[in-house]
A and B are shown apart, each in its own frame.
Chain A
Amino acid sequence: MITLQLLVNGLALGAAYALVALGFVLVLNATAAVNFAQGDLVMAGGLLGVALAPHLPGYLPLPGLLLLPVVLVLMAGLGLLLAAAAYLPLRRRPPVAVFISTIAAGIILQNGASVLFGPEPRAAPPLLSGGTLDLGGLVVAEQSLAIIAVAALLIAGQQWLFGRTQLGRRLRATAQDPEMARACGVPVTAMILITFALGTAFAGAAGLLLANRYFVTPTAGGDLILKAYIAVTIGGWGSVPGAVAGALLIALFEVGVSSVLSYPVALGLLYATLLVILVARPQGLFGEAARRRA
Chain B
Amino acid sequence: MRRFLSILSATVFSASLLSGAARAGEASVPVLVPLTGFLSLEGTSQRNGAVLALKDAPAGVAVRSEVIDTGTSPEAAVTALERAAGGKVTAVAASMLGTQMLAMLPLAQDYGIPLVTVSGTASITDQGNPWVFRFFPGDAVTKEAHARYVTEELGRKRPAVIYQTTAYGQSGKAHLEQAFKKLGVEPVFEEGVDPAAKDLLPVLTKALAAKPDVLVLHLHSGPTALFIRQAAANGVAVPIVAGSAMHQPSTAALLEPAELKGVCAETAASPISGGSPEVEAFTAAYRAAFNAEPDAFALGQYDGIRMVLAAVQGGADSPEAVRKALSTGTHQGLAMTYKSDGKGNMAHSAVIVCYDGVSRVPAIAKRYDNLTGVVTGMVK
Contact = CB atoms under 8 A, between A and B. Distances in A.
B11 to A, nearest CB: 12
B292 A118 contact: yes
A258 B40 contact: no
A264 B199 contact: no
A259 B165 contact: no
Interface residues on A, range: 35 or more
Contacts of B201: 5-6, 9, 255, 259
Given A116-B3, A259-B202, A121 B250 contact: yes
Contact of B192 (A218, A219, A262): A262
Interface string A254-275: 1110110011100100000000
A117 B3 CA distance: 8
B288 interface: no
Given A259-B205, A262-B192, A120 B250 contact: yes
B21 interface: no
A116 B165 CA distance: 30
B223 to A, nearest CB: 9
A274 to B, nearest CB: 16
A115 B1 CA distance: 8
A263 B197 contact: yes
Nearest to A141: B233
Contact of B222 (A10, A121, A259, A263): A121
A256 B7 CA distance: 43
A249 to B, nearest CB: 15
B194 A214 contact: no
A139 B222 CA distance: 22
B199 A255 contact: yes
B221 interface: yes
Nearest to B8: A115
Contacts of B191: 262-263
A121 B202 contact: no
A132 interface: yes
B44 interface: yes
Interface in B39-54: 40-41, 43-44
A125 to B, nearest CB: 13
A10 B254 contact: no
Interface of B: 3-4, 7, 35-38, 40-41, 43-44, 165, 191-194, 196-199, 201-203, 205-206, 221-222, 225-226, 233-235, 248, 250-251, 253-254, 256, 292
Given A9-B199, A121-B254, A218-B40, 7 more contacts: A13-B199, A118-B41, A119-B41, A215-B222, A256-B202, A263-B194, A263-B197
